[in-house]
Structure 1
């Protein structure tokens, strides 16, 4: 599971209403995968969709103890340039997942490490859930999207896209559920 970074979505706090919708969407996608017998979430450590997906997967553990999480990073010093609070958040997630490792044991050296990471993720997963919209063609997520679509051409590999229209549907669904429950947050 991968997708937009936190800043690309304009989400800068835990109380942002957009984040509530995204967490709802992530939980729905993860429950669907679990219902279809998925036993692992394998994702990266980017802030945004990847870290939120891990958090949602961890929250589903109580009802789904067989479902495990792996946090894979492209290189050894991934996140070292981030603000201290983001580094702490990544380090904390690494302690909570079932497995965490860097695909390259070297610190960042060149873009080939990112390509190798992308290939590793495709080779070690059975399907991809990508929060991406083609309107956001400047997003680095487009590389993961394009790689998954190319990989799909030669492999039995399903690619699930959650685009802006689908997120809007989730927002409406989330709003209806809140309304039915009498909550308005």
Structure 2
């Protein structure tokens, strides 16, 4: 696999409303663990649409991994100014991520015109990547369920998941890595 699409919940679907929420550390850790495994197997590109939440955190993780791995990040938003209604700190983090990306291009010129743009985005990402990684809890699907359904319809398209169990493991690993945990 050379190209991986990553998606998941938006931050508010996870009950995260601030960029300094400690839960983000655990989610990023789980994403990083999966991406490191894929990078060791030859992953070259990570593709995201740049939506707030899992996708932006993935972009930040990839930027961190670029220091030690030959991996690139591509951001392909479904339309221009997708971040215009987001809180200011998240807009700023998005702009910083876009500026550091290896590739950035809008799927549709112009601003939001309709739900068809999201469907076209899902189609494009499945078509342009070799596999996907989705943070997903089957019991509580969010907006990521639309991409997940599209990915399941594709032939020979591997779907990798970050599950609640993976997040629990990330929490435990980070706790155990803290020297204060052992004292």
Decide: shared fold, TM above 0.5.
yes
Aligned to 1:161: 161
Aligned to 1:19: 24
Instruction: For 1:74-89, list aligned pairs within 5 A.
Output: 74-89=78-93
Give the Cα–Cα distance (whole angstroms) in 1 for the partners of residues 166 and 35 of structure 2: 15
Shift of 1:183: 4.5
Shift of 1:123: 0.6
Aligned partners of 2:19 and 2:89 also within 8 Å: no
Give the Cα–Cα distance (whole angstroms) in 2 for the partners of residues 26 and 18 of structure 1: 13
Aligned to 1:29: 34
Aligned to 2:12: 7
Query: Which residues of structure 1 form unaligned runs of 5+?
Result: none
> Aligned pair 1:51/2:56, yes or no?
yes
Shift of 1:79: 1.4
Aligned to 1:109: 113
Question: Which of 111, 121, 125 is matched with 1:121 structurally?
Answer: 125
**Number of residue-to-residue matches in the alignment:** 176
Query: Which residues of structure 2 form unaligned runs of 5+?
Result: 1-5
TM-score, normalising length from structure 2?
A: 0.89
Kindly tell me: are residues 133 and 63 of structure 1, through their superposed partners in 2, closer, same or farther at Cα, counting changes over 3 Å?
same
Q: Deviations over 1:22-59 (max 9, x none)?
A: 11111111111101100011112111110010101101
Question: Which of 135, 138, 146 is matched with 1:143 structurally?
Answer: 146
Aligned to 2:3: none
Over aligned residues, Cα RMSD in angstroms? 1.5
